[in-house]
Copies of this chain bind each other. A is one copy, B any other.
Amino acid sequence: MTLYAAPTRDMKFVVKELLQLSSVNTLPGFEDATDDLFDAILDESARFSQQELAPLNRSGDLEGARLVGGEVHTAAGFKEAYAQFIDSGWGGLTSSPDYGGQGLPHLLAASVEEMWHSANMSFTLCPLLTRGAIEAIHYAGSTAMRERYLPAMVEGRWAGTMNLTEPQAGSDLAALRSQASPENDYYRIRGQKVFITYGDHDLTENIIHLVLARLPDAPAGVKGISLFLVPKFLVHQDGSLGERNDIQTVSLEHKLGIHASPTCVLAFGDKQGAIGYLVGKPHCGLETMFVMMNAARFSVGVQGLAIGERAYQAAVNYALQRIQGIPIGHKEPAPIAHHPDVKRILVTVQTRLEGCRAMAYYTGMLLDQARAETDVARRTSAQARADVLTPIVKGFCTETGVWAANEALQVFGGMGYVEEMGAAQYLRDARISTIYEGTTGIQANDLLGRKLLRDNGVMMNALLSDIRTTVCATATQSAAVQPVYNALSEALSAAESATAYLLKIGPTQSATAFGAAVPYLTLMGWLVSGWLWARSATLAEAALRSSGPDSNFYRTKLAHARFFALHELSICNHLQRVITQGSDPLQDIEVAPC
């Protein structure tokens, strides 16, 4: 049985045809990211994901990570797989060549990352967090700090973590209490951190914790938070490892899913105080943490669609072999995939995931342009667009992932509820993705507050205007594609109306506006997916007209685009009404205890 088959054909379509590698490999630093390199990396990543990571997914779930004598042991096979991961150089895919990375664009790396998450979400969290830590150190660390820590992290020999949350400070970082006291050229860090993903493990020689804490003179609230680098083992100037730092793994959480990913409670400095080094300026830790967080949010969005894809594959393969009853139009019992309702589930899941893939990779491309564009205006506008899309990718792709895993389980019927089938694990694993790195509600508040209202709609209206340009090309569409553009046009009008409404009431009726934040994020997720679907339909039709190879792929793509447009997109009208009419009545209701 195939556990996972990387959807390379669709990935290639999105990267090479829809978005085009030339949109990034013409920029300085990305010249190597050619179509050929992409194909080669994709194939190698598919092999690694399918053969090394996927087989450890179920066993990792069953065994879980364990805390033994204060040290975390990962599940059987994880160490060996991680060693291969390092040997293949996967760790430094997008990291700066200055520190040993390959400096490849996100547009290329996103599909690689998607594969890893599909194959083994628990495993992939370790490199995900490490990459975020690398970005934060690269962004704010001194040259000396970069040089001491980054090469081993980029190589993957050392891992990185993100230490924000404390029991009383989850979504609200202003409440955090961990302390940092200056001592010589370092600080003593004291405090307890919870929900630390891969807070301890045996995959790497060292773990570089990035920790938010307060200096003695820190102002209250988020403006008094500094960022510290706190290594598990202290690192000598020559890069060799020294003493064990004062960090204890107090316990591991017993979670619904991602059992193989250790979620730690870490005690910093219970004895003499953990030694840490300031990253960036005092009291500016949150800004740096947001660099890390935004990278992680993008990656978790990719993870959401990836776990949905894994669940989808399991469901479709089951549905094509499980025979039950005689489907309409058949004369003999046939696989359940031919029953109209099962087919509806499968196609709905697949098309939504394809839309998410296009949207996530598009955002990856924007991140590349924001990094490498030499033209200031283009660079700024790419960054602005990425800023708008990051919370949408995180929120929409993870919600879609959970929904997809739930629908996929349904395809299995009773067998889906039995753990041995694996479908239940995908749902359990997927469920964290809408929570960590900021819940969907937090993403939506970010979208509405920082991305829409703060600049009075400038960034968002630029996006809507680009979509309007696509819609205006509708006159030139064929009869086959026309309905897709019509549906997009209607969805765009709904989004424009909702946007205008929120811009209007945002300043004066904040509670009503923010009560509609998640519906707004969702509406934008549908719209952007629909936009990329419309463009995909046009490309697919052109490919079919040119009678090139792969006609089956393009025919399916076109049919999927039509299905997505006609079966899904009218949800935007509903969401527009939820936003403009449905949030206000919330103000008349008091939430009461039971």
- Assess the B328–A413 pair: CB atoms within 8 A: no
Report, as a range, how many residues of chain A touch the other chain.
Answer: 35 or more
Of A208-216, A297-305, A510-518, the one contacting chain B is: A510-518
Q: Does A570 lie at the interface of the complex (its beta carbon under 8 Å from any beta carbon of B)?
A: yes
Which residues on A are within 8 Å of B, measured CB to CB?
2, 5, 7, 165, 168, 170-172, 174-175, 194-195, 253-257, 312-313, 316-317, 319-320, 323-325, 328-329, 333, 337-347, 402, 406, 409-410, 413-414, 416-420, 424, 427-428, 431-432, 434-436, 439-441, 444-445, 510-518, 556, 559-560, 562-563, 566-568, 570-571, 573-574, 577-578, 581-586, 588-594
- Assess the B594–A5 pair: CB atoms within 8 A: yes
State whether A518 and B344 are in contact (beta carbons under 8 Å apart), knowing that A256-B428, A414-B435, A581-B566 are contacts in the complex.
yes
- Assess the A591–B344 pair: CB atoms within 8 A: no
State whether A413 and B431 are in contact (beta carbons under 8 Å apart), knowing that A340-B517, A343-B515, A593-B316 are contacts in the complex.
no
- Assess the B172–A347 pair: CB atoms within 8 A: no
Q: 15 A-B residue contacts at CB 8 Å?
A: A171-B325, A172-B325, A175-B325, A255-B418, A313-B594, A337-B591, A338-B591, A340-B514, A340-B517, A341-B445, A417-B435, A424-B431, A563-B585, A566-B584, A566-B585
**CA of A436 to CA of B410, assembled, Å:** 11
For A560, what are the chain B residues with a Cβ–Cβ distance below 8 Å? 589
- Assess the B570–A328 pair: CB atoms within 8 A: no
**CA of A286 to CA of B7, assembled, Å:** 44
**CA of A63 to CA of B78, assembled, Å:** 29
- Assess the A593–B328 pair: CB atoms within 8 A: no
- Assess the B562–A585 pair: CB atoms within 8 A: yes
- Assess the B441–A339 pair: CB atoms within 8 A: yes
Instruction: Report, nearest first, the 8 A-B pairs whose CB atoms are least far apart.
Output: A567-B582, A172-B325, A340-B515, A341-B441, A340-B514, A256-B424, A313-B594, A570-B577
For A341, what are the chain B residues with a Cβ–Cβ distance below 8 Å? 441, 444-445, 514-515, 517-518
**CA of A515 to CA of B347, assembled, Å:** 11
Report A198 CB to chain B, min CB distance, Å.
15
Given contacts A316-B592, A413-B439, A567-B586, 14 further A-B contacts (CB under 8 A): A5-B594, A175-B325, A254-B418, A256-B428, A340-B513, A343-B589, A347-B586, A347-B589, A402-B406, A410-B441, A556-B590, A563-B585, A567-B585, A571-B574
- Assess the A175–B324 pair: CB atoms within 8 A: yes
- Assess the B591–A568 pair: CB atoms within 8 A: no
Report A562 CB to chain B, min CB distance, Å.
5
For A194, what are the chain B residues with a Cβ–Cβ distance below 8 Å? 414
Report A253 CB to chain B, min CB distance, Å.
5
For A559, what are the chain B residues with a Cβ–Cβ distance below 8 Å? 585, 588-589
> Binding site of A, secondary structure by majority: helix, strand, loop or mixed?
helix
**CA of A427 to CA of B573, assembled, Å:** 30
For A195, what are the chain B residues with a Cβ–Cβ distance below 8 Å? 414
Report A119 CB to chain B, min CB distance, Å.
13
Report A427 CB to chain B, min CB distance, Å.
7
**CA of A441 to CA of B411, assembled, Å:** 9
- Assess the B568–A582 pair: CB atoms within 8 A: yes
- Which residue from chain B places its CB closest to the CB of A590 in the assembled complex? B556
State whether A514 and B435 are in contact (beta carbons under 8 Å apart), knowing that A586-B344, A591-B316 are contacts in the complex.
no
Report A590 CB to chain B, min CB distance, Å.
8
For A585, what are the chain B residues with a Cβ–Cβ distance below 8 Å? 559, 562-563, 566-567
For A577, what are the chain B residues with a Cβ–Cβ distance below 8 Å? 566, 570
**CA of A79 to CA of B172, assembled, Å:** 45
- Assess the B514–A165 pair: CB atoms within 8 A: no
For A420, what are the chain B residues with a Cβ–Cβ distance below 8 Å? 254
For A329, what are the chain B residues with a Cβ–Cβ distance below 8 Å? 510-511
**CA of A317 to CA of B427, assembled, Å:** 26
Report A447 CB to chain B, min CB distance, Å.
11
